[in-house]
Structure 1
Amino acid sequence: MAFLNFVNSLGFVSTQSGINWGHSSGHVVNYDAYIPIRKNIIINNPGLIPRKSDQNTPFFVTWDNGVTMQMTFEGTQTINGVNYPKQLSSHPNKNDLGYYLRNRMKLFLPDGNLDSRIITLQDLNNYGTTGVNLTYTDRYYCSFK
C-alpha cells in the first residue's frame, strides 16, 4: 500500500494541480482533479505503478466505499532511466475524480450545490486525510478516509 498525498514536500496543497487541477490555466474544466504519483512512491513500492508503456489503458479502481471508477495512469516522469506515470486520473472525464472527492469531503455550498473553490490543507485536515491509499492485489483499490 502507498499513500499518495495531495500535500507536497513543502507542506502545501497546490492551487492548480492535483486535487485542484481544474483551477489551472491549461485545457481543464471545473472540478478536474488527479492524484499525484511522486517519485518516492515508485521507488519505495516496486511493481505498484506500471512503467509508462503500460499506461493510458483505462482500468477500474474500487474505492473504500464500494464506488468503482474508470481511471488511467498519465503523464511522464523518469526514474533511473525508466519512464513512469506522474498521476492517476479518472477516465474519460477528468472531473469525475474531482466531483467524487468533493462529494466525499462534503464540500457543498449553502444552496446544496457542490463547491468549486480551491481545496485547502485545512479542508483535507477537516475531512481527516490529506491523500489516498493505493493498493493492488488483483486490481487497484483506493481508500480516501
Structure 2
Amino acid sequence: MTTTALEAFLRDRFEEEERVARDAVAGAPGAEWGVVADEIEQVLTSRDGGSTHTPMVQFGAEDPVKLLTHVARHDPARVLRELRAKRALVAEHRTGDGGRCRTCREGGHPRAPCTTLRLLALPFAGHPEYDDRWRP
C-alpha cells in the first residue's frame, strides 16, 4: 500500500469524472442546468444562453423536484470545479519521506498514505480498484 498507488487511483478516477463532465458539456455547450416544475411535469432543463429550455430528463419520482434539484446542482461545470480543487489537494500531498506527504510530516502525522488522500478516495470505495486499506 503506497501513496503512489493511491495517487494513481485518484488520478484515474478524476480523469473518468472529467471525461464524463466534458462529454456532457460538449452535448450542450453553454448550457446552464436548472429545474422547471409545475403540476403537470418536472424536468431537468438546460438553458443555452437564451430563454429556451430543453427537457433533459423527466422523472416519475414521489418528489421529483427534490431529485431533479440535486441532479441540477451537480452539473458538469460544478464537477469540473470540484475536480480542480481535488487535484490541488493531491498536489499539496506529494510524498517525500517514507510515503508521508510534506503536510503530514510537518504536522507530525505518522500515517501513510496521508489522511487527506484517503478521504479523497473514500467516495470511490465501491470501485473495484479501491483498496480497503485506504479507508481513513
- Tell which structure's C-alpha radius of gyration is larger: 2
Normalized per residue, the structure richer in helix is 2
TM-score by length of 2: 0.25
Normalized per residue, the structure richer in strand is 1
TM-score by length of 1: 0.24
